[in-house]
Amino acid sequence: MKTFSIAIDGPAGAGKSTIAKKLAHLLQCIYVDTGAMYRSVGYYCIRNGISLEDEEAVSKELPQMDIVLQHTSDGQRIVLNGEDVSQQIRNTEVAASASKVATYGAVRKSMVQRQQEMAKSTSIIMDGRDIGTVVLPFATLKIFLTASVEERAMRRLKEYEEKGMVCNLESLKEEISLRDKQDSEREISPLKQADDAIVLDTTHMEIDEIVAHIQMLLKERL
């Protein structure tokens, strides 16, 4: 199979990461979790006492953030300045911080440059909010995943419970609705469906069904 790129966009909890990871495994290509990169920026700021409201302060710290995505037998690991932060960045506080720092132009420019560099020489799958419109505008295949707020909140609740975290469904629904609003209305690279993206509503679809459909679409494109 020749080199390809798949851009998967959509709102929080639509199943982007789950689908992208499984596809990457089946297609034997690299998966880039762009959301984890923004979470790493937010986590760095929280840990180092940098105000998430201070765009200038956050931007100045970017050169100090070495973010590496490592692919291991146990899955992808997120390494920030030599430390594995894969678990630390998966909580509601860091998720909110990621949505905030993602509104800053310097942060987005830095992350997009890093992401595009990764996609230059190998087959790759990326998921996020603006992959098909900004990061990989010439992707082989663009997918826009969506699902109802109720379904996305239930998925997130299950994910947190499996990790031993205590969460409230109604709170998650409110958080996801707010995140949708923030992501869609932000001035820099808002969440937007690319004109040539294929929309998949995953509310009533099983993971394997979605993955198989995307594999079929990629085969058609190649």
pLDDT one-digit tens code per residue, 179-189: 888 888 877 77
Residue 198 · residue 142 · CB < 8 Å: yes
Handedness of CA 187, 188, 192, 194 (dihedral sign): positive
pLDDT one-digit tens code per residue, 91-108: 889 989 998 998 899 999
Hey, what amino acid is at 108? R
Kindly tell me the burial class for residue 87, based on how many C-beta atoms sit within 10 Å of its own C-beta (0-12, 13-18, 19 or more): exposed
The pLDDT mean for the chain works out to 90
pLDDT one-digit tens code per residue, 116-147: 988 887 899 999 888 999 999 999 999 999 99
The mean per-residue pLDDT over the stretch 19-25 comes to: 92
1 falls in which pLDDT band (50, 70, 90)?
Answer: low
pLDDT at residue number 191 = 85
Cα–Cα dist 1/209, whole Å: 22
Cα–Cα dist 191/93, whole Å: 20
